[in-house]
Structures are given as C-alpha cells and as structure tokens.
C-alpha cells in the first residue's frame, strides 16, 4: 500500500467515531484533503460522512493538480448523495452547473467566462454553456476606463443575484462577492493595523484631493497635502495607478470606514538638510511657486519654500498684490531674513530690497554729505577772498 493510500485509510478510519455533521446547502466550511483521485478530491469535513469535491476545480489549465493531502480548503456544501456530501469551491468551475439555482439561493460563488460586451454590461458564460448577464456597475469595485480591455475573455467569480425562468434569465455580480471578501480583509486588518505603522500599498485611484491606496484589500486616502514635502498641484505628475508605494498610517476610523495615510511621512524630510545650508543673510536663487494676497512663496529646493511678504515687493512702491511685480515660475534672487526650523518657516526678501529704515538712513547720509560739501566750498571761497584782498592792499 502506498504512503498516500495508507494516510487516506487512516484518516477515514478516524471518522468512524465522529458524529454525523448536518450541513445546509450553501453552508461554507473548512475541510482537509485526505485523498486525491483522477476524478475526485476526498475531504475530511469534521463529520462521519466523507466529503467529495470535483478534482477539476483544483486543476490548472494544463490539468496539473494544485492540491496535496493535508491541505485545507474553504468549500461550500451542495447536497448529500449516496452517503457522501458533495462540495464545491465555486459552482461553474467543475461539473456542477445544475446547482446554479441553489447557488443563487445560498450565496455560493460561481465561476464564469466574460464572453462578450453587450448593451449595459457583459454576457457571462457559466459552466461552458449557460448565459448570464453582469451590468457594468457590478463587474468590479471601481469604474475602469476601458471595460472591454479589462474584462473580456477573463475568468472571474460571481454571485448569482437573480435566477428566473428556470435559468433563462440569470444576473450575476462580481462586485458583491468582492465586497464580501473586502469585509473579511477589513476585519483582519482591524486586528493588525495601527496608527504610525508603515506598510506597502498600491495606488488604485487618483483624485484632485488625494490618492486612494489599497493596503491589503482596504483602501486608504492619502490627502494631497500628504503626497510629498513640496507643494503638489497634480498628483498624476508624481504617481500612477497600480504603482506600489510605502505609506504611513496617520489615522484609523473604523466606524466611518476612513483610513488616512501619508506618503510624505515615509520620505526624508528636506528641512533637515536645508537647516545645514540656510542661514540668515544667505543669498540664493529660487522659483516663485505661488502668489497670495499677503506675499509670494518661493521654492528654494524640493520641499522647502520661503515667503516674501508683500511689503518687501515693489521696490518701495506700494502694491495691492504680488502679481503686479511677480509671476509664478519666475526665477528670483532672494536673501534669507530668518529661519524657524521648529515651525518650518523661512522669511525672504529680494536680494536688492532696501528697507524704509535703510532708505531713510541713506537719504540722511546724502543730506549730511551735501551739507559737508557746502561747508568746504564756503570755507574755500572765504580763504580765496582774503588772499585777494591782501593782494589789492599791497598794490595800493
């Protein structure tokens, strides 16, 4: 006797002492594989009766078996037959297409092939020959731009939401099944996810206000302010759908199904490097990135902006808005006035800016110089007059 056969026999001998387990059609259980034949997978379901699963449900397209004795499977009970209990992983993947009505009643997943795009959705083929309809809105959790390219000729799992006219009118939904699966993943994440944790995710959607990231079956939102350290106008300039990203969990609100994430917090803070470079009096080139009523924001390097207050613009001329003298994207030479690392604020001024105080001092100095010049000139003329008078006296 082979080792597999011995194991099979031993496991079934153990079931003789087990009580009969009564199951309802559509009930989902976890079973253990105790035997494999060409046609069937034999299951230990925790009861006295043996469980049987069609072997084709666990075969690849190359007819290779994707199962081994001892593996655990989640299966759905179909019915009892000849002292055995028939199970399925999903109706339509094997030879159990006659159970579609039971699948609809019991919420058992069915496998189907997306055959053709028709008005309002797709024609789905179940079990190789039975036609069903799936509306566009029920094909997935999210709307896709090119549904035909995304779904045609693809094998998917569905729930039957309508079974009428003895199977002549069948409506299915992939979305309902995916939502059930996501609910399980959400419950699992509630046990493991915590604020401050850094995890991997995939960008699933990009909106004006932020990006949604799948972090394991549940989407979290990265607000646009948490995309990067520098000011972000268009998220698509930085990230794309299906791109893998690292995110930090900022806030969890399971009651409202809201998860707030941050990409910025996983990146190196450019302010730490800027602190070593920028000090009061430094003159540096920057680019005007935003104009506000109170001043102009100037990017000094990626993620580090400074502010020129409107009072320092206009070269002494009073202006009502920075746009009168500057425009976004303009290069400008600025001088650092002050750096507040705690608040991450940098005050700037144009490198040629002269304060009213300095301007007054300059004007006062000019007046002083002019007065001194007049004194010297008067003194010089007085001395010349004296000499002239003395000469005239000598002649007389």
pLDDT tens profile 61-106: 666 667 788 999 888 888 787 777 888 887 766 555 567 887 888 7
335 contact partners, CB below 8 Å, separation of at least 6: 281, 282, 283, 284, 348, 349, 350, 351, 353
Alpha-carbon Rg for the chain, nearest whole angstrom, is 40
The yes-or-no answer to whether 195-266 and 270-350 have a common fold is: yes
Name the residue ranges covered by the structural domains of the chain.
Answer: 3-89, 103-178, 195-266, 270-350
pTM of the predicted model as reported, rounded to 2 decimal places = 0.55
With b for 16 or more beta-carbon neighbours within 10 A and e for fewer, the 105-139 pattern comes to ebebbbbbbbeeeeeebbebbbbeebebbbeeebb
Architecture of domain 270-350: Beta Barrel (2.40)
Unique residue bearing structure tokens 């009892």:
80
CATH classification of 3-89, choosing from 1.10.4030.10, 3.30.365.10, 2.40.50.140, 2.40.50.100? 2.40.50.140
**Topology at the third CATH level for domain 103-178:** OB fold (Dihydrolipoamide Acetyltransferase, E2P) (2.40.50)
pLDDT tens profile 2-50: 555 455 555 555 545 555 567 877 788 889 999 988 888 999 887 767 7
E strand residue ranges, the chain: 28-36, 40-44, 51-54, 72-81, 84-88, 110-118, 121-126, 130-135, 155-164, 169-173, 198-207, 210-214, 219-223, 244-253, 258-262, 283-292, 295-301, 304-309, 331-340, 345-350
**Topology at the third CATH level for domain 195-266:** OB fold (Dihydrolipoamide Acetyltransferase, E2P) (2.40.50)
Q: What integer best gives the mean pLDDT of the chain?
A: 81
Return d(Cα 208, Cα 223) in angstroms, integer.
9
């Amino acid at each position: 006797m082979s080792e597999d056969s011995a194991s099979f026999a031993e496991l079934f001998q153990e079931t003789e002492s087990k009580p009969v387990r009564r199951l309802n059609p559509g009930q989902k259980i976890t079973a253990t594989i105790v035997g494999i034949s060409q046609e069937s997978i034999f299951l230990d379901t925790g009861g006295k009766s043996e469980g049987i699963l069609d072997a084709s449900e666990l075969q690849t397209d190359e007819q290779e078996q994707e199962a081994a004795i001892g593996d655990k499977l989640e299966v759905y009970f179909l019915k009892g037959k000849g002292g055995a209990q028939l199970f399925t992983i999903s109706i339509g993947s094997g030879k159990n297409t006659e159970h579609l009505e039971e699948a609809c009643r019991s919420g058992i997943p069915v496998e189907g092939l997306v055959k053709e795009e028709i008005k309002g959705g797709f024609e789905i083929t179940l079990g190789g020959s039975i036609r069903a309809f799936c509306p566009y809105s029920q094909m997935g959790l999210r709307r896709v731009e090119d549904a035909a390219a995304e779904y045609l000729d693809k094998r998917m799992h569905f729930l039957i939401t309508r079974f009428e006219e003895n199977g002549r009118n069948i409506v299915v939904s992939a979305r309902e099944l995916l939502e059930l699966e996501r609910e399980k993943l959400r419950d699992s994440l509630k046990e493991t996810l915590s604020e401050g944790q850094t995890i991997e995710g995939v960008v699933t959607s990009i909106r004006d206000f932020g990006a949604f990231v799948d972090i394991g079956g549940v989407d979290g939102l990265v607000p646009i302010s948490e995309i990067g350290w520098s000011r972000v106008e268009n998220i698509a300039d930085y990230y794309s759908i299906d791109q893998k990203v690292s995110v930090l969990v900022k806030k969890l609100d399971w009651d409202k199904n809201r998860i707030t994430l941050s990409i910025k917090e996983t990146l190196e803070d450019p302010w730490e490097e800027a602190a070593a470079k920028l000090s009061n009096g430094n003159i540096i080139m920057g680019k005007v990135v935003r104009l506000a009523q109170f001043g102009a924001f100037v990017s000094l390097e990626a993620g580090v902006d400074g502010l020129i207050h409107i009072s320092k613009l206009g070269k002494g001329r009073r202006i009502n808005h920075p746009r009168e003298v500057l425009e976004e994207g303009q290069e400008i030479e600025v001088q650092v006035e002050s750096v507040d690392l705690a608040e991450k604020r940098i005050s700037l001024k144009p490198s040629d800016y002269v304060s009213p105080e300095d301007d007054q001092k300059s004007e006062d100095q000019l007046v002083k110089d002019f007065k001194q010049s007049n004194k010297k000139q008067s003194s010089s003329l007085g001395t010349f007059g004296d000499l002239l008078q003395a000469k005239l006296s000598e002649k007389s």
